[in-house]
A and B are shown apart, each in its own frame.
With several copies, the nearest count.
Chain A
Amino acid sequence: MSTINKSAAQITATILSNKRVGAYHQILLSIGDLASVCRPGNFVAIAVGGESSKMILRRAFAISRITHGSASGGAMELIVAPHGSGSRWLCAQPEGSDVDIVAPLGKAFGIPTSPVNALLVGGGYGSAPLFGLAEVLKARGCRVDMLLGASTGSKIYAPLEGKRSASTLKIYTEDGSMGERGRVTAPIPSLIEQGSIDVIYSCGPMSMLRAISDLTTGTDVVHQCAVEESMACGIGICMTCVLPVKGEDGTVSMLRSCIDGPVMDASTVAWDLVGKTPPAVTL
């Protein structure tokens, strides 16, 4: 057994329910004992398209929440945006059908050992892992505030859930159709200034993560972000999902976001190099 993804397993999971919620599908998978080893920030890789599929790669989805059921064991909730052919296929699977999953994958969010003030920021389906995270943080005595943003109201996932799981919830949409008009990053500078947050947990588009990162640079606020890079394998064997990350000596390495992430310390990510050819390695 390895030290990488050491709780991961490949299993057949049954779809317990599949509901449309706004622009997304909330999908509940029966995963038995695997539930006990899933942590907020982990993701699942799902085979799509069925037996004679031309889609040969798995699709990655953040584990939104874990419920520990009774007889049938635990369940895993996903929030899936029907984007391309793979996610649309998944959203079209009826209750009762089986899917082949590999989970839990990747690094989870780091949970503080003592109570802190945490701000959770989600963009679009990036809110997925935040609900589960909020529960864990609250159980540790943390104060949890939440900001959710999207282009439009239908892309804010389950605002009521957000309300339940966080102490405060603020919603931002770019078209103003829900919550305040504007970007989800808008209130962050003043929150930081007020000294009311210790840690930011973020999940959403790379541009959002980077913007938050810019705001926390030079402050004491720790920023853990869950990145999203195109992944072919999700388990560390293909090297497609890399991100430039600065080491302690300042040199940049291309780390695999599937196994060294998706949760990363945002201050170590070389945001300006993302998507660029990194400078040649110097020794």
Chain B
Amino acid sequence: MNTEYDGFDYSTSLAGASFPSPVFTASGCASSGKELAQFFDLSDIGAVVTKSVMNKPRHGRSTPRMAETPSGMLNSIGLQGPGIDHFLANDVPWLLSKGSRVIVSIAGETIDEYSVLARKIRPVQGISAIEVNISCPNVENRGMVFACQTDTAARAIDGVRKIIGGEIPIIAKLTPDVTDITSIASSVVDAGADALALINTVLGMVINLDTMRPHLGGKTGGLSGPAIRPVAVRAIYQVHSAMPNVPILGMGGVASGRDALELILAGASGISVGTASFGDPTAIPRIQRELHALLVARGFTSLRQAIGYAHRASEEGAQ
């Protein structure tokens, strides 16, 4: 564990899983870790959240898969990946050998697939948590986003929970593209999610002005980056307000320590950094340093004191 934060308790926990720092990679924005290892030591950050893996290997969507937008980007990767077997045999052992804490993200095309994935992960030693991605917008059918409806969201989580028992914390990852995110959040918590990951990308689209057609191979894509940060802060604030005891892994447009602090004050116990790593391979350790300095400057002696502080401050506050 990290000791460079002397005096300050930078550790965090998500439903029993502990981490020396609250700054993680975001699923799909760090592959399986190897690529970033050239730029910093993976054991120095809170955790590596791996790219959502499915049961079978998968090609994903056709190219182009990305479009830059003002202060953001769209992606339509479509969950390309090697499949769970290859992933568990190769990527997880490599990450653990580097001393990294590992959160495995899984995604299924059917409710059953989530259970199948859980069954394969259960016996694996050393995994800190499972992030259940029920909100990837880049699947063939927009109706397939389980996190859009309380019942499908709950069933996917329930399938995983039944198999995992209490061994590994389950983090349900939600989309902000719903009418009422708190109702989705409470349905997955009822179904057995220990924590929530907020937010996945926002559904968006870009038209290519040369071809005058949708730019992305998959037509629509997921919007990420600083552009969506106010949406992430709002979602985290709303959900933390409704369920103050459910830990939240916050993400969406965090590119600096100040951004991370904003999400933490809104209620996040940990921060995933996604798109920022594309523009800056050392974004995560930088954000980790900046956040620490900002917390200390505000007189906090532990990260925990700051989590959800915006809610408490408003009770105490003058207004």
Contacts and interface: CB of A to CB of B under 8 A. Distances in A.
Given A10-B282, A47-B279, A275-B63, A237 B56 contact: no
A2 interface: yes
Interface in B266-288: 275-282
Contacts of B60: 239, 242, 254
Contacts of A54: 70-71, 226
B279 to A, nearest CB: 5
Contacts, number: 132
A8 B59 contact: no
B56 A232 contact: no
A228 to B, nearest CB: 12
Interface of A: 1-6, 8, 10, 47, 54-58, 100, 102, 229-230, 232-243, 252-254, 259, 274-281, 283
A283 B86 CA distance: 12
Contact of A242 (B29, B38, B39, B65): B65
Interface stretch (B73-81, B113-121, B173-181, B233-241): B73-81
Contacts of B282: 10
B66 interface: yes
Interface residues of B, number: 44
Contacts of A283: 56-57
B319 A239 contact: no
A78 to B, nearest CB: 19
B34 A4 contact: yes
Nearest to B37: A2
Contacts of A6: 38
A259 B38 CA distance: 13
A2 B68 contact: no
A30 to B, nearest CB: 21
A259 B277 CA distance: 16
Contacts of A55: 68
B277 to A, nearest CB: 6
Nearest to A238: B278
A232 B73 contact: yes
A54 B28 CA distance: 22
B37 A57 contact: no
B37 A230 contact: no
